[in-house]
């Protein structure tokens, strides 16, 4: 199973060109992926996308006709006078069968101090059928401007993952009469991938929230499994200092304990400039 994750900056490169085609081509250059997880995908925000495709999920679906595309808008709004809904969020495209789709709204508690920029955040979740069984793929983009909001979101993700694993180990009762009803058997699993742009560093408190082994069902940074002696590659501010002068490692692929043994390869494309972030690649065997 091969997965690529990428914060696309609404498919805008450092040259200012907005192109879903370049994002898909760049992801394909990394791997013949089975699952593609994208963050910062836009619908009808012309101030972001200019004259390019206004409906980016639709454009990506056309580029990946053999994939099922699931869009999870963290922002979904109707502005009076605009005439159409405007959306912004995460996208999962899967060549593997998608057994279940879920959307987890993340908390944005009011942070102390002066008001600041922030937007609603969401985790988009697709349970896909891998060769060995169901795998829950979660992709998200955490708050950039507030550490306290980001911490709350990391805690929510950790708790949700723990609950999903508990449900897999003790699944609900399902009766014969439940077939073709909402109570029918679900694809419960402990096998989990959590990926995206987390806007925190490997030495942060939020990183510890997700990876600390002091609680059951902790997540494991796949980079540390595949490359235990290497530092994380920079995935943000590598070629652009708009948000700060120093390169940052803030994009990750975490895996559950049950999947760690399957991690074969983790890599970053540190050359591409068709977004302000660098994509990551994971291969499981």
Q: What is the pLDDT of residues 88-106, one digit of tens each?
A: 999 999 999 999 999 999 9
pLDDT of residue 204: 97
Binning the chain into helix, strand and coil, the percentages to the nearest 5 are 25, 35, 45
- Token representation of residue 205: 């408190």
CA 204 to CA 206: how far, in whole Å? 5
Ordered structural domains, the chain, with CATH: 2-172+184-284 (3.60.10.10)
Helix (H) or strand (E) run with residue 23 in it: helix 20-30
Are 269 and 115 in contact by the 8 Å Cβ rule? The answer is: no
pLDDT of residue 50: 84
Per DSSP bridges, beta strands 85-94 and 263-268 are unpaired
Question: Which residue bears the tokens 């540390």?
Answer: 224
pLDDT of residue 27: 98
pLDDT of residue 82: 74
Q: What is the pLDDT of residues 121-177, one digit of tens each?
A: 999 999 999 999 999 999 999 999 999 999 999 999 999 999 999 999 999 998 999
pLDDT of residue 81: 76
Enter the DSSP assignment of 18: B
Helix (H) or strand (E) run with residue 41 in it: strand 35-43
Are 95 and 50 in contact by the 8 Å Cβ rule? The answer is: no
Are 76 and 124 in contact by the 8 Å Cβ rule? The answer is: no
pLDDT of residue 101: 98
CA 24 to CA 13: how far, in whole Å? 13
Predicted model pTM: 0.96
* DSSP assignment string, 133-193: EEEEEEEEE--SS-HHHHHHHHHHHHHHHHHHHHHHHSPPP--GGGTTSTTS-----S-EE
Angle formed at CA 115 by CA 113 and CA 120, multiple of 5 degrees: 120
Are 1 and 283 in contact by the 8 Å Cβ rule? The answer is: yes
User: Closest by alpha carbon to 36, among 73, 78, 8, 74?
Assistant: 8
Instruction: Give, for all 285 residues of the chain, the pLDDT tens digit.
Output: 999 999 999 999 999 999 999 999 999 999 999 999 999 999 999 999 987 878 999 999 999 999 999 999 999 999 877 778 999 999 999 999 999 999 999 999 997 788 888 999 999 999 999 999 999 999 999 999 999 999 999 999 999 999 999 999 999 998 999 999 999 999 999 999 999 999 999 999 999 999 999 988 999 999 999 999 999 999 999 999 899 989 999 999 999 999 999 999 999 999 999 999 999 999 999
């Amino acid at each position: 199973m091969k997965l690529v994750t990428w914060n696309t900056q609404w498919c805008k490169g450092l040259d200012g060109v907005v192109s879903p085609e370049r994002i898909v081509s760049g992801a394909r250059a990394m791997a013949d992926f089975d699952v593609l997880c994208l963050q910062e995908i836009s619908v009808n925000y012309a101030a972001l996308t200019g004259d390019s495709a206004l409906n980016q999920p639709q454009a990506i679906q056309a580029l990946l006709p053999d994939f099922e595309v699931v869009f999870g808008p963290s922002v979904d709004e109707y502005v009076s006078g605009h005439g159409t809904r405007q959306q912004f969020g995460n996208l999962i495209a899967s060549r593997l069968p998608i057994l279940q789709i879920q959307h987890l709204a993340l908390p944005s508690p009011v942070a102390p101090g002066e008001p600041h920029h922030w937007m609603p955040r969401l985790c988009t979740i697709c349970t896909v059928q891998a060769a060995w069984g169901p795998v829950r793929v979660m992709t998200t983009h955490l708050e950039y401007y507030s550490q306290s909001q980001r911490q709350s979101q990391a805690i929510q993700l950790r708790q949700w993952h723990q609950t999903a694993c508990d449900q897999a180990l003790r699944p609900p009762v399902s009766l014969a009469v439940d077939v073709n009803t909402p109570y029918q058997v679900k694809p419960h699993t402990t096998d989990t991938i959590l990926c995206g742009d987390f806007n925190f560093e490997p030495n942060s408190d939020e990183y510890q929230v997700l990876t600390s082994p002091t609680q059951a069902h902790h997540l494991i940074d796949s980079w540390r499994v595949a490359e235990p002696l290497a530092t994380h590659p920079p995935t943000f501010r590598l070629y652009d200092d708009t948000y700060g002068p120093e390169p940052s490692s803030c994009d990750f692929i975490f895996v559950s304990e049950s999947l760690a043994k399957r991690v074969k390869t983790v890599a970053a494309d540190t050359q591409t400039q068709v977004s302000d972030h660098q994509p990551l690649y994971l291969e499981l065997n």
